Amino acid sequence: MIVFPEINSTWRAVAEAAARTAGRIAVAYRGQVETKSKGLRNVVTEADFLCQAEIKRQISAAFPDHRFLAEETDNTPGGASELCWVIDPIDGTTNYSYGLPVFCTSIALTYRDVPLVGVVYDPLRDEMYAAERGRGATLNGRAIRVSERTALVDALVGLEWASDPPLRLETVRRLDPLATRCMTVRSPGAAALSLAYVAAGALDVYFNVKLSAWDVAAGCLLIEEAGGRVSDLRGGPWSIHGGNYLGSNGAYHAAILDLWRATSLTQ
């Protein structure tokens, strides 16, 4: 069993301050930066690098021995600390580069890959989602909870689309039994923000067949601290490196796994 270090309240304060600075940079450069390709359907902008450098600068200044795992390069393990900051400087870069106003910054502090603190900041709405392990989740300082809905017909389901065609088809196959039974389906385009929406009760369910640690570390903690449930797509335990995720208010979890089991999607 992992014995977690006691939560240090400056962790969250530093994460929030760094996320706000990154948000200001992202907004300032919006519509003005060149987009480059990192691979199939995977883009990056100069703003991603600027935001990441500033986040790392602020965190390093406060905690020089901590490590980093950040989306945009330079992921050398660094110091010996078991505390590691997992950073997505701009989550929703495709939206950002196309001018769709849905993106955020996601920052989590992990201990042996388990998130202790997580913040997701939407700079266009000035919405700061934050959670500390065992201490609940907040939106702009006010406690948030997952939704209380229970009937599948009422469920607002979120998802995003992986880059690879086979994974897109898997998303379609998983969506199929849900789409005809739920309220409707949304694809915001920024996974960290979608997970935060589940934590705040704005989405009831979220699933994704392929995500990275920086997309999920803060958002999954937010859901759990808001009273919801996160698992992998088979219903097993999730980890920041697990790749696939089902997050919900808890009430919908079993029903969705059952639907996927019935269509052989949990095999």
Residue closer to ligand LIP (CB basis): 92 or 201: 92
Which residue lies nearest ligand LIP, judged by its C-beta? 160
Residue closer to ligand LIP (CB basis): 87 or 144: 87
Which residue ranges make up the site for ligand LIP (CB under 6 A)? Answer: 71, 88, 91-94, 160-162, 189-191, 211-212, 215
Residue closer to ligand LIP (CB basis): 214 or 260: 214
Residue closer to ligand LIP (CB basis): 21 or 63: 21
In the complex, least distance from residue 139 CB atom to ligand LIP, rounded to whole angstroms:
19
Q: Please state the three-class secondary structure of the chain as a single string.
A: CCCCCCCCHHHHHHHHHHHHHHHHHHHHHCCCCCEEEEECCEEEEHHHHHHHHHHHHHHHHHCCCCEEEECCCCCCCCCCCCEEEEEEEEECHHHHHHCCCCCEEEEEEEECCEEEEEEEEECCCCEEEEEECCCCEEECCEECCCCCCCCHHHCEEEECCCCCHHHHHHHHHHHHHHHCCCCEEECCCCHHHHHHHHHCCCCCEEEECCCCHHHHHHHHHHHHHCCCEEECCCCCCCCCCCCCEEEECCCCHHHHHHHHHHCCCCC
In the complex, least distance from residue 38 CB atom to ligand LIP, rounded to whole angstroms:
8
Residue closer to ligand LIP (CB basis): 21 or 94: 94
In the complex, least distance from residue 118 CB atom to ligand LIP, rounded to whole angstroms:
15
In the complex, least distance from residue 71 CB atom to ligand LIP, rounded to whole angstroms:
6
In the complex, least distance from residue 189 CB atom to ligand LIP, rounded to whole angstroms:
5
